[in-house]
A and B are shown apart, each in its own frame.
Chain A
């Protein structure tokens, strides 16, 4: 019987079936950061346990670090304490840390793939829900909680139930000005924020196949926003070309042997899925969220929907969303005034994201009332962008050019919305309070659309700017 990538990776990593019926699943790569690990290391110390396979855990600093002045000690004493714990734990347990001095620091989901740590056929875990990102190279990657971080440190395993598998096919082709972010926001809009509960998503179809690896990373990143536990794309020539020459990828002859195995774990033709959903790529236009979860979105040419048009149980959330955002049903999203523009995050903080934002930034200047930040996803992304002069394009247009970190995606450092500020953001969550102000408001969109909004001072259609 034809098998899926999920079947094959799951079987290869099964240590045993637990008495509960769950699988004891070996985790091939464990990525950690400073926010969700100090309690796990403390538990490990209390239980007098070692890290089972220290060579399979890698750490970085991303969530709390400042993106303006990164001199230590950090101005924020709580951030400094978290960083100090991270340094101490990594040293105490002899684990490799990619800090600022290495030139390899960055958002954990940006550096895993760019260093070639993330490889096809692996199981990957990280105490962060956007771990689904790593599925873009053909890995099964789970976001986990802190006690599960303890599990992986102590046993290199997780207790997991195998999810069902849904293939999400994006057919046809995308129009100009439509990006990977628009594809995944459309998928979430059509299938719902809880549509993926119980499922892993396999992204397939011509649009996905033609995507670059960075575009696939954007799509897989937001699998969790659709409720799916993980999402992946089958490894192909794009995957192989992406990994060749990466520092932690196999080298020379070993690379060729690896490609044989990577190709062998892809879903076989004729494999069956628990569910298949199809989306026409040509039907997708630049997407903007208008509400308080990532499903609440419309195409930029559309109007904000009415709660009355929704099924009864959904109406209270719709009304709450309109009240929080200060929008009226039927209002066009285009023209909604913004205060802040943010390009960055594990969703859209890679070189190709900055390139497309810079292309738009060349067309004008940031509107006077808008505060605009460009936050590269990693030190390597920043270096590559600077080598191309992207930082100068941004600065000339009035954008701030920052250092790598999670920044305003979740506002754990100084980069926060103030009061009810409205943000055009290339990040992944428009939850109430997400960007650091309890009353702040977030409009999710592609990096190109964020740059367009920054220049226009309000939500704009990037297709009109790029024309």
Chain B
């Protein structure tokens, strides 16, 4: 696989979105899913939340161009819509650091090459405040070493083994990897009673 796919380190300006349990309906409301491509998703990221709160970070000029999103607990819970990470990616997000993540959301991020790193509540609160204070300063996300650097402070931020291997080795394009199994797929299916017939 080409080195272009490797996601070892990602460096960019940060954007904090505080709060817990921010669901995928909030990231992209269902009415914007009525589209047969993902192209328009970026412009609708957090649309309702932005309209209701002019001070939403995604509205703020200082955070435009940011690429490292810093969130709270259980970010991306709810619907399986890949439109949510697609919206964030197309807005410019390349890595997400948070307390914890909805599992389907985190899986959808990996498959787009976006790492989701988990840090402690204390470190998340610090990073959100630090990024808000110094929005022009870069956040360095190291997927391989499982740490995040901001200024002179480094915090631990974990990625589960499977996704970390996929991101670091550039094998997150799952279809290509799964196709490599070849005839073993049909062989496995052929052993299942409900496939071969009862």
Which size class do B's interface residues fall under? Answer: 35 or more
Complex Cα distance A63/B34, Å? 10
A408-445 Cβ-contact flags toward B at 8 Å (1 or 0): 00111000000000000000010111101011000000
Inter-chain contact B52/A22, CB cutoff 8 Å: no
A261 and B185 CA atoms in complex are apart in Å by 21
Question: Which residue in B48, B79, B85, B184 is a CB contact (below 8 Å) of A16?
Answer: B184
Q: Number of residues in A with C-beta < 8 Å to the partner?
A: 85
A157 is contacted by which of B19, B25, B185 (Cβ under 8 Å)?
A: B185
Interface set, chain A 4-54, CB cutoff 8 A to B? 12-16, 18-22, 24, 26, 28, 35-36, 38-39, 42, 47, 49, 52-53
Complex interface: chain B residues within 8 A of A157 (CB) = 178, 181, 185
User: Nearest chain-B residue to A412 (Cβ)?
Assistant: B30
Q: Is A194 an interface residue (CB 8 A)?
A: yes
Option from B100, B161, B174 in Cβ contact (under 8 Å) with A194? B100
Contacts of A12 in B (CB 8 A): 191-192
**Which B residues, 28 to 60, have Cβ-Cβ distances below 8 Å to chain A?**
29-31, 33-38, 48-49, 51-52
Tell me if A64 counts as interface (CB < 8 A to partner B). yes
B137 on interface, CB distance cutoff 8 Å: no
Contact A20 B35 (CB under 8 A): no
Is A193 interfacial (CB-CB < 8 Å)?
yes
CB neighbours of A158 from chain B (8 A): 174, 178
Q: Which of A47, A128, A257, A429 contacts B198 (CB 8 A)?
A: A257
Complex CA distance for A55 and B83, rounded to whole angstroms: 27
Q: List 21 A-B contacts (CB under 8 A).
A: A12-B192, A15-B181, A20-B177, A28-B189, A38-B36, A63-B33, A64-B34, A78-B34, A127-B82, A129-B79, A147-B174, A155-B175, A194-B21, A224-B104, A254-B197, A254-B198, A258-B198, A261-B194, A292-B21, A316-B19, A438-B51
Instruction: Give B contacts to A, CB under 8 Å.
Output: 18-21, 23, 25-26, 29-31, 33-38, 48-49, 51-52, 73-74, 77-83, 85, 100-104, 107-108, 111-112, 121, 160-163, 165-166, 169, 171, 174-175, 177-179, 181, 184-185, 188-189, 191-195, 197-198
